[in-house]
Structure 1
Amino acid sequence: MPLHARLRSLSRVRARSCCGRPGRAPSWILAVGLVVAVDAGAAPDEEALGRNEGYPVCRDQPLRPETRCLVGLVSRWDEVHATRKVARGEVVSPLARASSEPAIGYRFANLDRPTLDDYLARNRTTGLVVLKGDTILVERYQYDRRPDQRMASYSMAKTLVGMLVGIAIGEGAIRSIDDRADAYVPALAGTPYGETPIRHLLTMSSGIRYSETHGGSDDVDLLARLSMGRGSDGGAATVAPFRTREHPPGERFNYSSADTQVLGLVLRAATGAPLADYLSEKIWRPMGAEADGSWTVDKGGYETAYCCFNAILRDYARFGRLLANDGAQAGRQIIPAGWVRAATTPSLRRFEPGQTGELHGYGYQTWVVSSGDGRQFAAWGLRGQNLFVDPAKKLVFVNTSAGPLGDPGSGERLSLWYGIVDSVGR
């Protein structure tokens, strides 16, 4: 179920900090020079998620796996899907670790002063990192997952695409976001998507009819079959079925993975490079990623721009830190600062929180969080993937998950983010 549908059910009650209570004593291991808590206690639904089978990787179920296959899929994606490597550089940006894990509390529903341990005991979180500045405050894993495993982004990848568009514009590879898509992708000529300006692809307002409920037979399921399911020749063929214009471009917000897929085609044509290579050169290497990432590709070798990038949690956190710093890292401007601010701020009132028909607002391929506490934004993915950022407080929260399609934990995760901001954002 997409974010725009899930958010309708979220609580609007603002979370407040509350005192943490002693939790379960964590098990500690040493990993990449950092002390990491792994499986502090029983995680929810362990048996249903395949613990007794070692959390299997079900290669014969790439698109709609059984519950027992979910943990294996989201943490070993490359063994199920075709991907292209996003290479790291030689220099790794160091992250320090706090001497002790801070107490983090939050308010949610009728829970009695819940803590981080309570959150993990209630949600299918595979990994969680809280970063403040250059310091890791919290790093936890469940279901026997490890810090060196790449976790699937699902739609968090959309924010990467949005930032790559900004870099391409800064370099002149894309002349203007008011250019039409077919100015770069001739295969889209004569189609509604070809006639759509890049600006309206960025803001999910193409006006092209598209439904994203993940019910098994809607448009996003078709897009998945044609792209990562390799049911077409790839490239422009993955968006060929979406040819009906319902509204003029820019008139209405409608969350659409096909809009992002077209942005990926524009980037590929404008830069002459696969998205994975462009991401490696322009963001992954310069920001000092610790590990290689990977990006799912279709039958034609085109990345599924709307979905399914994979990275270790610390590198997701490094990307969040880059955005918190308005695109700068170690004195180098990696993403144009003005673009980062524009991408994480609604461009028109119709994209502001509460105006999209949803709780949150939308920038350029990035959600703008309804917080009442300054500028906050998020990358959001299916099954419980999140990257929250508070630039003023230099706070980043990464959560990866093996949740169900409906993501029932999304409201609690948002409340936890508010609690993190209140607890450690001073």
Structure 2
Amino acid sequence: MRRFIGLALLSLALAAAHPAAAQKPKSPDTPMILTWSPELQSRGYRTMEDLFEVLVIKRGRKVHPLPAAARTIDVAYPYEGKTWTAADYMAAFDVSGVLVLKDGKVLMERYAMGRKPEDRWTSFSVAKSVTSTLVGAAIADGKIKGLNAVVTDYIPELKGSGYDGVTVRQLLMMSSGVKWNEDYTDPKSDVASAGGAIEDPKVNPIVSYMRKLPRENAPGSTFNYNTGETDLVGVLVSNAVGKSLSKYASEKIWKPYGMERDGIWVTDLAGHERGGCCMSMTLRDYGRVGQFILDGGKAGGKQILPPGWTTEATSKQIENGVGGYGYFWWIRPQGGFEARGIFGQGIVIVPEDKLVIVVNSAWPRATGRDLSAARTAFYEAIRAAAKAN
């Protein structure tokens, strides 16, 4: 009973925050995404473009091949007193797709929940890791001076705010020092309020909100998970390169690396892509994103990202209490690093094993220790099976 009461209170809080949701729904009747029913999750995660305003990330003419490995794998691993297979895990945790690549070849590819290989699925915060990758591309292009460049050089509307003197690197580490509340159960939290209204038609709504926040810590000193700042990074990149994030992602990743299908990116109230959320692509294209990072940011024989960028971005830059954090990448205590999104989205990359694992899900809750623990056990079972293959 307590669980259902808690979920009901959470739903009420989130519903109250709905007008302040940063993405723009096509219909005012669209429920806030964090309160969707299982049926709407299954359909909506595949068809975000039907429910929200989006921009398209165009693919190119060529597709990066993902050939089948000589032998595929399954898993059989102990967890909570029983033996689990991949099918067991997928059924128990509402998983729509699992893809495992080793040496760029497919060891496992599974679909469920009515999903087909051509279906996209939303990423939630996995998009953050793509946004940080576009920062690297913009540095390589000379559009961003470097990681020590100050944020206000690219978002001048932030001058005179808590972001004075904050660097691009500090934003990517989620350590600006600006005060921020990410509590989704609090309808008055920053995450429930940021970007929810156009206060100044000349200023992006997330920028308008963020420039009013006070400084709480010295820049670079303290990790504080902050979705608003990942949206800021998206604005910073598009300002620096002079084009939309979607067009830049198409030019730097989708076309040169060879994605199989156009991606989509949900926009905010001003029509700008949310740097911190809600890009959608196919299961295999998530795998290609992982492989692009594993390949060191090279595509079509060209170096897209600065040499050494992928190593630095996916190394521990700041302590966060759970393994460390890079540039919008989570460092895994078990080895490797991860792009992570709520409701069970993830790209795990283990360079020493030349391994990429993608999981897309529709968990009944945004997150939880039980859900995360079960997913970690599944990841590690896959890693062991891949090593033994």
Unaligned regions of 5+ residues in structure 1, if any?
1-56
Partner of 1:220: 191
Report whether the alignment pairs 1:363 with 2:326.
yes
Q: CA deviation at 1:71?
A: 1.3
What is the distance in 2 between the residues matched to 1:269 and 1:322? 24
Q: 2:193 corresponds to which letter in structure 1?
A: L
Structure 1 counterpart SS, 2:84 = coil
Q: CA deviation at 1:425?
A: 2.7
CA contact 1:328–1:337 (8 Å) conserved in 2: no
Partner of 1:159: 129
Report whether the alignment pairs 1:85 with 2:56.
yes
What is the distance in 1 between the residues matched to 2:275 and 2:250? 15
Partner of 1:339: 309
Match of residue 379, structure 1, among 309, 323, 339: 339
Structure 2 counterpart SS, 1:259 = helix
Q: 1:279 corresponds to which letter in structure 2?
A: A
What is the distance in 2 between the residues matched to 1:409 and 1:400? 13
Number of residue pairs matched? 356
Structure 2 counterpart SS, 1:101 = coil
Unaligned regions of 5+ residues in structure 2, if any?
1-26
What is the distance in 2 between the residues matched to 1:105 and 1:335? 38
Partner of 1:301: 271
Partner of 1:75: 46
Matches within 5 A, 1:88-237: 88-98=59-69, 101-108=72-79, 110-215=80-185, 217=187, 218-223=189-194, 225-226=196-197, 236-237=204-205
Partner of 1:417: 379
Q: CA deviation at 1:99?
A: 5.4
Structure 2 counterpart SS, 1:220 = coil
What is the distance in 1 between the residues matched to 2:190 and 2:227? 9
What is the distance in 1 between the residues matched to 2:233 and 2:219? 15
**Cα offsets for 1:285-344 (capped at 9, x unmatched):** 111100000111123221110100110010010110111111124533222231111000
How much is the aligned-residue C-alpha RMSD, in angstroms? Answer: 2.1
Higher helix share: 2
CA contact 2:173–2:223 (8 Å) conserved in 1: yes
What is the distance in 2 between the residues matched to 1:422 and 1:260? 33
TM-score, normalized by length of structure 1? 0.79
CA contact 1:63–1:224 (8 Å) conserved in 2: no
TM-score, normalized by length of structure 2? 0.86
What is the distance in 1 between the residues matched to 2:301 and 2:251? 17
What is the distance in 1 between the residues matched to 2:78 and 2:331? 21
Q: CA deviation at 1:121?
A: 2.3
Structure 1 counterpart SS, 2:88 = helix
CA contact 2:162–2:214 (8 Å) conserved in 1: yes
Partner of 1:44: none
Tell me which stretches of 4 or more aligned residues in structure 1 moved more than 6 Å. none
Q: 1:361 corresponds to which letter in structure 2?
A: G
CA contact 1:234–1:300 (8 Å) conserved in 2: no
What is the distance in 2 between the residues matched to 1:257 and 1:327? 25
CA contact 1:189–1:195 (8 Å) conserved in 2: no
CA contact 1:58–1:69 (8 Å) conserved in 2: no
Structure 1 counterpart SS, 2:118 = coil
What is the distance in 2 between the residues matched to 1:422 and 1:239? 45
Structure 2 counterpart SS, 1:361 = coil
What is the distance in 2 between the residues matched to 1:59 and 1:366? 34
Q: CA deviation at 1:232?
A: 7.8
Q: CA deviation at 1:240?
A: 3.0
**Cα offsets for 1:251-304 (capped at 9, x unmatched):** 101111112111111111110011110000011111110000011112322111
CA contact 2:195–2:269 (8 Å) conserved in 1: no
Q: CA deviation at 1:152?
A: 0.4
Report whether the alignment pairs 1:310 with 2:280.
yes
Q: CA deviation at 1:214?
A: 2.0
Partner of 2:351: 391
Q: CA deviation at 1:221?
A: 2.2
CA contact 2:177–2:217 (8 Å) conserved in 1: yes
Partner of 1:283: 253
